[in-house]
Chains A and B, each alone.
Chain A
Amino acid sequence: MNEIPLTHILFVSTALFFIGMYGLFTRRNIITMLMSIELMLNSVNINFVAFNKYLFPDKLDGLFFSLFIITIAAAEAAVAIAIIINLYRSHQSIDVDDATEMKF
């Protein structure tokens, strides 16, 4: 258990965050962009739990932060999917390149 230093867990979450960022940059489909955002939120959660466990084991604040992040991510995904369904109804497509009416 203690053989793995904190930095290795942070390496994993950093790599996960930048994989999510790569997906957000390359994808043009709203659903896959949403998936990338979920990956980034999860990497942040790993960080909170790891810092809580390794640096402040007498407190529980990191756990609460990740609990609230998970809750807000669920609400965000639900609203995003409602918007996606509405966008598909009006544009017959969910590519961000097809929804450019409000682009300046």
Chain B
Amino acid sequence: MNTSVIIFYAIASLILGAALLAVTTLKIFRSAIWLLFSLVGIAALYFWMQVEFIAAIQIVVYVGGIVVLIIFSIFLTQQSGKEMAKPATSKIIFSALAALLGTAFTFNLINHYGFNTISAQPFNTNVSEIGTQMLSTTSHGFILPFEVVSILLLAAMVGCIVIAMKPTAANIVHLNNKED
């Protein structure tokens, strides 16, 4: 048992423990912080697998973007110190049963499928390699999904602004009439 193995199991237990706490704690702000720890653990797993670029993206987008967004929306919509209602016991039991059965089934499948791993070849994940393939127009390039995803981001941005915009005066009168 060498250092790399120990580090892998430490990272794995960090990810799973933080994720388990994130879905079970009753205070919503703590849940967001545990999610943060779990995402940092996943970034550490990417570093351990030596795909530094994906790890950096994971930290920038998830930890720096999505978790901050979630915490903002918690502050906008909730009293963060208040405890949430506990889910019904029967729901907890059946959800846990479904999750455990699914886990056992998938573990069994993975265990019995023989993956023939190729470890002789080095895994080249230079940023220049990734960038060249991302923007190349040959048969293995990813220029089309790259452009499509940029349009998706633009559409999401415009959609967010439109959805979260404060209603205008005419809309407010309309809503009030509907409520009466």
Q: For residues 1 through 59 of chain B, which have their beta carbon under 8 Å from a beta carbon of chain A? A: 2, 4-5, 8, 12, 15-16, 19-20, 22-24, 28, 31-32, 35, 38-39, 42, 45-46, 49-51, 53-54, 57-58
Q: Does chain A have a CB within 8 A of B122?
A: yes
* A63 to B77 Cα, complex, angstroms: 36
Q: Mark A32-46, 1 if CB is under 8 A from B, else 0.
A: 101110110010011
* A12 to B13 Cα, complex, angstroms: 9
Q: Does chain A have a CB within 8 A of B173?
A: no
Min CB gap B10→A, angstroms: 12
Min CB gap B60→A, angstroms: 9
Q: Does chain B have a CB within 8 A of A4?
A: yes
Contact, CB under 8 Å: A74 / B66: yes
Q: Does chain B have a CB within 8 A of A26?
A: yes
Q: State how many residues of chain B have any CB contact under 8 Å with chain A.
A: 84
Q: Which residues of A contact B116 (CB under 8 A)?
A: 55
Contact, CB under 8 Å: B142 / A64: yes
Contact, CB under 8 Å: A26 / B22: no
Which bracket fits the contact residues of A?
35 or more
Q: Which residues of B contact A102 (CB under 8 A)?
A: none
Contact, CB under 8 Å: A49 / B54: yes
Q: Which residues of B contact A57 (CB under 8 A)?
A: 118-119, 121-124
Contact, CB under 8 Å: A19 / B16: yes
Contact, CB under 8 Å: B87 / A18: no
Min CB gap B96→A, angstroms: 6
| Interface pairs A-B: 3 shortest CB-CB | A23-B23, A25-B95, A75-B156
| Interface of A toward B, CB cutoff 8 Å | 1-12, 14-16, 18-23, 25-29, 31-32, 34-36, 38-39, 42, 45-46, 49-50, 52-58, 60, 63-64, 66-68, 70-79, 81-86, 88, 90, 94
Enumerate 16 A-B pairs (CB-CB under 8 Å) in ascending A order.
A16-B15, A23-B22, A25-B99, A27-B87, A36-B23, A38-B39, A42-B62, A57-B121, A57-B124, A60-B125, A60-B130, A72-B149, A73-B66, A75-B156, A85-B73, A85-B76
